[in-house]
Amino acid sequence: MSFLTVFQRGIAMFKPLQIAPSILSADFMHLADDIALMERAGAALVHVDVMDGHFVPNLTMGVPIIRQLRKATDLPLDVHLMIENPLRQLDWFLQAGCHVVTVHAETLYGAELDQAVDRIVEAGCLPALALRPRTPVEVLAPVIGRLHMVLVMSVEPGFSGQRYHEGSELKVAAVARMARAVGNHDLLIEVDGGIGPATVGLVAAAGADVMVCGSAFFDAADPARALAEVRERGDAARLAALQGQEGPQGFSGPKGGAACR
């Protein structure tokens, strides 16, 4: 294949990265201002970290905040449930105005995994499954064919501002391979934890589509500039991967999943 063909194929398949700032790093006394800042900066989603103090040590926000967010913005809400028993509380979240609902694989046993996906889909939300850094990708097998998104945690869940776990990009590549193997070519892969200008290229080249940015966005002197930089670096890495400069473990390009809205 000629260089021009490879180049054209890369351009044709290319879908820009989506950036999802995490409001865990926002100023809660001025949350509306921070949401407006995210909109102006070109965020694709609002990432909402729900923590219960059991599944993770931290305790953050819940349904009342999600209801308020739904009224405050048209951006889709990407709700990351870090709670011990999601099936018990899922209905509250499904009725609160979430767009994507992410449950953790480690909180669901046996048939519960299918039940959680069924309930999210029946409620008209998009189902996603998250994996802690030590959770193997094989746990995705029963449901990966009908997931909207897989969230690869690149830090231990619980806190923003942690350092990216090296090697998380290999897990992203493994999820991308699994999705291709079952024919779920629209599956989005989101990466959460320690993502910023220095790390986005690694995971984007491996096949990630959605980047959660907490501290890299809200702690930046110019958050809009920071978001643009993350997207530019990530897009450059995706394009290079599509054009044949292979990423980790033979990854040869993102899957070109549909945008969330």
Q: Write down the least CB distance from residue 47 to Zn ion, Å.
A: 6
Q: Which of ligand DX5, Zn ion, none binds 168 (CB below 5-8 Å, type-dependent)?
A: none
By CB under 6 A, tell whether 213 contacts ligand DX5: yes
Three-state SS for 191? strand
- CB distance 195 to 212 below 8 Å: yes
Sign of CA dihedral 11, 243, 257, 76: negative
Cβ-Cβ contacts under 8 Å for 165 (sequence gap 6 or more)? 133, 154, 155, 193, 194
- Tell me the two tokens of residue 26: 């926002």
Closer to Zn ion by Cβ: residue 80 or 119: 80
By CB under 6 A, tell whether 195 contacts ligand DX5: yes
The continuous run of DSSP H or E covering 157 comes out as none
What span, in angstroms and rounded, lies between the C-alpha atoms of 119 and 99? 14
What span, in angstroms and rounded, lies between the C-alpha atoms of 224 and 40? 7
By CB under 5 A, tell whether 78 contacts Zn ion: no
- CB distance 86 to 117 below 8 Å: no
Selected binder of Zn ion within 76, 77, 80, 200 (CB under 5 A): 80
Which residues are bridge partners to 19 per DSSP?
211
Q: Which residues does the annotation mark as catalytic? A: 49, 192
Which one of the spans 109-117, 171-179, 190-198, 232-240 is the region binding ligand DX5 (CB under 6 A)? Answer: 190-198
By CB under 6 A, tell whether 86 contacts ligand DX5: no
What span, in angstroms and rounded, lies between the C-alpha atoms of 160 and 217? 11
Q: Which backbone phi and psi does 128 adopt, to 5 degrees?
A: -140, 150
Closer to Zn ion by Cβ: residue 14 or 219: 219
- CB distance 210 to 191 below 8 Å: yes
By CB under 6 A, tell whether 107 contacts ligand DX5: no
By CB under 6 A, tell whether 69 contacts ligand DX5: no
Selected binder of ligand DX5 within 162, 186, 197, 235 (CB under 6 A): 162
Q: Write down the least CB distance from residue 6 to Zn ion, Å.
A: 35
56 Cα distance to chain centroid: 18
Selected binder of Zn ion within 52, 169, 190, 192 (CB under 5 A): 192
Residue (of 165, 154, 161, 162) closest to 220 by Cα position: 161
Q: Which of ligand DX5, Zn ion, none binds 160 (CB below 5-8 Å, type-dependent)?
A: ligand DX5
Q: Write down the least CB distance from residue 82 to Zn ion, Å.
A: 7
By CB under 6 A, tell whether 244 contacts ligand DX5: no
Per-residue x/- marks for ligand DX5, 22-61, CB under 6 A? x-xx---------------------x-x------------
Residues that bind Zn ion (CB under 5 A): 49, 80, 192
Residues that bind ligand DX5 (CB under 6 A): 22, 24-25, 47, 49, 80, 155, 157-162, 192-195, 212-216
